[in-house]
Amino acid sequence: METKRRNLPPKASAMAESLRGLGYSTATALADIIDNSIAAQADTISIRFVWGKDKSLIYILDNGLGMDDKELELAMKLGGRSPTEKRSRTDLGRFGLGLKTASFSQGRCLTVASKKRDVLSCLRWDLDALAEGTGEDWNLYEGPSVDGEVLLALLKNFQNGTLVVLEKLDRVTSPESTEQDFLDLMDAVEFHLGMVFHRYLGTRVSITINDIPVKPWDPFLPTHSATWSSPAEKIKTPSGIIEVQCHVLPHKDRLDDQTYLRSAGPDGWTAQQGFYVYRNERLLVAGSWLGLGQGRAWSKEEAHKLARIRLDIPNTADDDWKIDIRKSTARPPVTTKLRLIRLAEDTRERARRVFAHRGQAVRIGQARELQQAWKIERIKGGARYSIDEEHPAVKLVLESAGDFSSSVRAMLRVIEETIPVQRIWLDTAEAGEPPQTGFYGNAPSEVQGVLLVLFRNLTEKKGMSIERAKQYLKEIEPFHLWPELIDALSEETLSEVRS
Ligand SMILES: Nc1ncnc2c1ncn2[C@@H]1O[C@H](COP(=O)(O)OP(=O)(O)O)[C@@H](O)[C@H]1O
Ligand SMILES: [Mg+2]
């Protein structure tokens, strides 16, 4: 027996209204529209914010391949292409929705005019018109709106290209909005687009907003000498090859103020740590630990804020990585989780060290370890900090203390037991930086005093040559921070101290 069926299409007006609420911002909506321009091989994309109170509009003009009437009609259709359809390797789309959902999230009227081989086609959705009558019909208008008409002239000199016009911007402006509010939006949009498309900008594609070029923002500061980068690693997965490259950005002290501010990113250093997931070189996720972690998912902590990891996935992996309609989330498949956790753990540890040492190298030269004054011992549930009695300055006192050495040791234990760990921790969280330690940034006279005592001890008591003693001092904390003071030590210094 044949099963009875019913045809039950969604109610047009209600469906279109619901799709407005996917959570786009103006910036993410425009990025989704630009994806289509780039997928259509455009290399010049102009965005314009046109203020006109309730007649304000935003348009995006590209010189891509354009569409003929049939293609344009399919482009306007919700779900015109299925998510399961195989896409070309460079396609940035997936769900056949982006153009519509992104546009509706900002305004109630979407016009697309496109030219292909000099033939112009123009179609328009208007949510107010959809709501007319019973609201059941998907009525698509031919031609632009009354206000949009003049804009068609923008395509005049194009053989191929596409113009997307967003009008009735009820989600962008309100009756109270001023022109300044509207124009202020452009800054956030500029930064977001500069971030999302930074690998396209400056090489393959130019984007302008009201004639001002969007500057690329590279999250990894790859050209800075103090950035640490791992070699790029290719990982085979069932849905294609992914590539991972780990970076630890320079400590604040190694960056000038402007670079430090700009490199932070739109949400600030701590929020911008973690994986940066790119799909076909377009950024989807700007800093997230992707739910990875040991036992518990890692959260974003101050101490790991310098860790940023580039992760490239192909568009054949969308399903595996659970790419969402807004292209703003991605979840690693189980098969790759373990590898990613390993890489992230190593990067987080490196980032933590750079953060804690204020960017000073802990190793000198190739392999020699720095002689540190504090020993950190990892114990279950935390760490124990103790003073290293092998540190030359400590050793010197202990050796010359004679009968007093047990009292000196007792004093050291008191210091170890009472370091204000809680206080330091709080101060760090508050300032976003570890507190400056004793010698840090001070006029080196205090350092010089201690340095001279040690220098004298090494050369006179330990019988080291001046050169050997100087080399030795360079490997001791905190003197390694002032190589120029050590370089200045000489025979004369010694005679001056003696007299
Ligand atoms: N600027 C454009 N230039 C050429 N074709 C476009 C443009 N914008 C959209 N299209 C066409 O419309 C289709 C639907 O776009 P969209 O709704 O964003 O879904 P998706 O990008 O997932 O396919 C695209 O696949 C493309 O064929
Ligand atoms: Mg798209």
Which carries the bigger pLDDT value, residue 446 or residue 334? 334
Indicate the pLDDT class of residue 358, thresholds 50, 70 and 90: low
For ligand 1, is residue 63 a contact (CB within 6 Å)? no
pLDDT computed for residue 118 by the predictor: 97
Whether the CB-CB separation of 395 and 462 falls below 8 Å is answered with: no
pLDDT computed for residue 360 by the predictor: 54
What pTM does this model have?
Answer: 0.77
State the SS3 of the chain. CCCCCCCCCCCHHHHHHHHHHCCCCHHHHHHHHHHHHHHCCCCEEEEEEECCHHHCEEEEEECCCCCCHHHHHHHHCCCCCCCCCCCCCCCCCCCCCHHHHHHHHHCCEEEEEEEECCEEEEEEEEHHHHCCCCCCCCCCEECCCCCCHHHHHHHCCCCCEEEEEEECCCCCCCCCCCHHHHHHHHHHHHHHHHHHCCCCECCCEEEEECCEECCCCCCCCCCCCCCEECCCEEEEECCEEEEEEEEECCCHHHCCHHHHHHHHCCCCCCCCCEEEEEECCEEEEEEECCCCCCCCCCCCCHHHCCEEEEEEECHHHCCCCCCCCCCCCCCCCHHHHHHHHHHHHHHHHHHHHHHHCCCCCCEECCCEECECCEEEEEECCEEEEEECCCCHHHHHHHHHHHHHHHHHHHHHHHHHHHCCHHHHHHHHHHHCCCCCCCCCCCCCHHHHHHHHHHHHHHHHHCCCCHHHHHHHHCCECCHHHCHHHHHCCCHHHHHHHHC
The domain defined by 12-213 carries CATH number 3.30.565.10:
yes
What's the CA dihedral at 441, 470, 376, 362 to 10 degrees?
Answer: 70
Neighbours of ion ligand 2 (CB under 5 A): 35-36, 93, 98
Ligand 2 center to 24 CA (angstroms): 14
Ligand 2 center to 327 CA (angstroms): 10
Ligand 1 atom 23, closest CA: 96
The structural domains of the chain, with segments of one domain joined by +, span 12-213, 228-356, 369-498
pLDDT computed for residue 370 by the predictor: 73
Whether the CB-CB separation of 182 and 50 falls below 8 Å is answered with: no
pLDDT computed for residue 366 by the predictor: 43
For ligand 1, is residue 287 a contact (CB within 6 Å)? no
Ligand 1 center to 413 CA (angstroms): 69
CA–CA gap between residue 160 and residue 114 (Å, rounded)? 7
Ligand 1 center to 279 CA (angstroms): 17
Q: Which residues contact 89 (CB under 8 A, 6 or more apart)?
A: 280, 314, 315
122-131, 237-246, 335-344, 427-436 — which is least confidently predicted?
427-436
Ligand 2 center to 26 CA (angstroms): 15
pLDDT computed for residue 439 by the predictor: 59
**Residue 8 above 60 pLDDT?**
yes
Which carries the bigger pLDDT value, residue 478 or residue 274? 274
**Residue 365 above 50 pLDDT?**
no
Ligand 1 atom 26, closest CA: 75
Residue 130, judged by CB atoms within 10 A of its CB (0-12, 13-18, 19+), counts as: buried
Whether the CB-CB separation of 347 and 248 falls below 8 Å is answered with: yes
Nearest bound ligand to the CA of residue 112:
1
Ligand 2 center to 38 CA (angstroms): 10
**Residue 280 above 90 pLDDT?**
yes
pLDDT in tens, 19-63: 999 999 999 999 999 999 999 999 999 999 999 999 999 999 999
Which of 43, 99, 325, 327 to mutate to test ligand 1, by most ligand atoms within 8 A of the CB atom? 99
Ligand 1 atom 14, closest CA: 75
The domain defined by 228-356 carries CATH number 1.10.3470:
no
For ligand 1, is residue 161 a contact (CB within 6 Å)? no
**Residue 363 above 80 pLDDT?**
no
- Over the chain, what is the mean pLDDT? 90
CA–CA gap between residue 229 and residue 169 (Å, rounded)? 44
Nearest bound ligand to the CA of residue 99:
1
Q: Which residues contact 184 (CB under 8 A, 6 or more apart)?
A: none
For ligand 1, is residue 97 a contact (CB within 6 Å)? yes
Ligand 1 center to 49 CA (angstroms): 22
Q: Is the bond preceding residue 478 a cis peptide, omega within 30 degrees?
A: yes
Single-letter amino acid code for the residue at 66: G
pLDDT in tens, 160-169: 999 999 999 9
Which of 36, 86, 104 to mutate to test ligand 1, by most ligand atoms within 8 A of the CB atom? 36
Ligand 1 atom 21, closest CA: 93
pLDDT computed for residue 429 by the predictor: 72
Whether the CB-CB separation of 454 and 394 falls below 8 Å is answered with: no
**Residue 110 above 80 pLDDT?**
yes
Span 123-130, average pLDDT: 96
Closest CA to 119 of 162, 81, 151: 162
Ligand 1 atom 12, closest CA: 75
Which carries the bigger pLDDT value, residue 83 or residue 137? 137
Indicate the pLDDT class of residue 367, thresholds 50, 70 and 90: very low
pLDDT computed for residue 449 by the predictor: 86
